[in-house]
Structure 1
Amino acid sequence: MNSATVRNLLVRGMLAGLGAGLLALVVAYLLGEPYVDKAIGFEAAHSHEHEMAVVSRSLQSTAGLATGVLVYGVAFGGIAALAYCFALGRVGRFGPRATALLLSGCALLAVYVVPFLKYPANPPAVGNPDTIGRRTTLYFLMMLLSVLLAIAATLLGKRLAPRLGNWWATVAAITAFAVVIGLAFAFLPVVDEVPADFPASVLWRFRIAALAIQISLWTGFGLLFGELAERVLHPKPATVAAGTAVPAAH
């Protein structure tokens, strides 16, 4: 793949990330923000300290949310596009659209779902401020481990395919991934800092909303980028304009 094609895919990946970010923004605003407000209300009702907010809640839930989600969408879209350039043709005989969806699905699983199952997202009022550094480190460690194991499982599947066939090689690779991830779940520290009186329904629905945001982001990116990549890699032949004379064959 030449540098011009890579550059075109990178630009389109960032555009697809922006489009997917808009979709995720709608989901975040409609599903996530109501439970953030409830969690903040719980925190305010149980806190004896009342500090003046530097940024108003209305600004946080609109412009602040939009800026964060859209910048994240553009950034991850560019990174995903570069990963796509590397993966295209190396993960099987898939076309541009199918490769984009496969990459998005695997990235969703490795980058978000697996770490989420070990260290799920929490709303405000959940978590000790003194342990935020430790919790952040553990989360990113789980994410890094998940991504590296996903890459290792892909390489394992490709190596086993000539001997076992594609089906059993895939089963073996997924099994190996699941076993090692299970060991990581067992040995990494557990984080449980949910206040005893925090509403369970708010916590549950906030986490479902957080998962829905990521699913909409990665799915939207896979569909949008797949279509854009298809047009770059398999452009349609130019049609003859109506009324233009076609030279007769001799």
Structure 2
Amino acid sequence: MNSISPRTLLVRGMLAGLFAGVAAFLVAYLLGESKVDAAIAIEEAASAGHDHGEEMAPVSRALQATGGLATGTLLYGVALGGIAALVFCYALGRIGRFGPRATAVLVSTGLFVTVNLVPFLKYPANPPAVGDPDTVVKRTTLFILMIALSVLLGSGALILGRRLAPSFGNWNASVVAGLAFVVAVGIAYATLPAVNEVPADFPATLIWQFRLTTLAIQTVMWASFGLAFGYLAERSLAPSPAPKEAVQPTS
């Protein structure tokens, strides 16, 4: 394969992240905003009896659901794309005899599991009007801690699998490493405190739909990134065609 600088792959990763951000924005706008609006309506109805005076929001709800959502999602996608590209640079050729496309898909899948899925299963997202404002710092800290633990445990499982591979074979080593990761995550789930601040009268269906939509947004983002970056990385790393030999004119 051609030698290529990490900077080039970083740029391609950010471009793929931008594409993934667009895909995630479409899912968030088409599926998620209706759930947010419903939760806001419940919150406003619950506080209707309290006379707090009319407060003007600094940013309109329409702008939040369009420009604000698009800006946040695109920046998030570009940032994650850059980080994933750097992980790809390290992983290529070190996790098996996989080509650029397969490595990109494996990296994006691993990051989705460790950065999004595992923390989400412990601390799932909640719509507006759910959660005590006084515990927001605690909840944010626990969520970040779960992400850090998940990434560390995933990295440890990867190292374990590589070290066991020469003795047990790639397949058996991968199974053992995967089981070790699941057990370690289960211990982390049991150790970290639970957070359940959902009001008893809040519609369970709305919470379920909001959480599924949140998970769908992340799934679409990482799947789009893996496919797009795999294509760009393969084009960058593909061997250059050998120059054709000059044909000597016959006399």
Per the normalisation by structure 2, the TM-score is 0.93
CA distance in 2, matches of 1:232, 1:91: 20
1:42 match: 42
- AA aligned to 1:15 is L
Amino acid at match of 1:46: A
Counterpart in the other structure of 1:69: 73
Contact 2:28/2:213, CA 8 A, preserved across alignment:
yes
> Cα distance, 1:53 vs. partner?
1.0
Distance 2:151 2:249 in 1: 57
Deviation for aligned residue 1:165 = 1.0
Give matches, 1:68-87, under 5 Å.
68-87=72-91
CA displacement 1:83-134 (0-9 Å, x = unmatched): 1101111111000000000000010000000000000011100100000000
Structure 1 residues 131 and 3: CA distance shift in structure 2, 3 A = farther
- Which residue of the partner structure matches residue 26 of structure 2? 26
User: What is the root-mean-square deviation in Å for CA atoms of aligned residues?
Assistant: 2.0
* Contact 1:28–1:209 (8 Å) recurs in 2: yes
1:168 to 155, 161, 172: 172
Q: 8 Å contact 1:39–1:125 — kept in the other structure?
A: yes
* Separation in structure 2 between the aligned mates of residue 72 and residue 247 of structure 1, nearest angstrom: 53
TM-score, normalised on structure 1?
0.94
The number of aligned residues is 246
Residue number in structure 1 paired with 2:106: 102
| CA-CA distance at 1:173 after TM superposition | 0.5
C-alpha distance in 1, partners of 2:239/2:64?
42
Query: For the structure 1 residues 248 and 113, does the alpha-carbon distance in structure 2 shift closer, same or farther, using more than 3 Å as the test?
Result: same
Deviation at 1:237, TM superposition (A): 2.7
Which has the higher mean CA deviation after the structures are superposed, 163-172 or 13-22?
163-172
- What's 1:10 paired with? 10
The letter for the 2-side match of 1:228 is L
The equivalent residue for 2:215 is 211
Cα shift readout 1:128-163 (whole Å, capped 9, x = no counterpart) = 000000000000000000000000000000001111
TM alignment of 1:73-222, pairs within 5 A = 73-222=77-226
Tell me the secondary structure at the aligned position of residue 76 of structure 1.
Answer: helix
Residue deviations 1:47-103 (CA, integer Å, cap 9, x gap)? 234532111100000000000000011111111101110111111100000000000
Maintained 8 Å contact 1:150/1:177: yes
Q: Percent identity?
A: 62
8 Å contact from structure 2 (residues 125, 214) kept in 1: yes
- Structure 1, unpaired ranges of 5+: 241-245
Contact 2:10 2:86 in 1 (8 A): yes
Following superposition, the deviation at residue 4 of structure 1 comes to 5.0
**Does the 8 Å CA contact 2:2/2:238 hold for their aligned counterparts?**
no
Segments of structure 2 that go 5 or more residues without pairing to the other structure are none
Instruction: Give me the whole-angstrom Cα distance separating, in 2, the residues matched to 1:66 and 1:138.
Output: 27
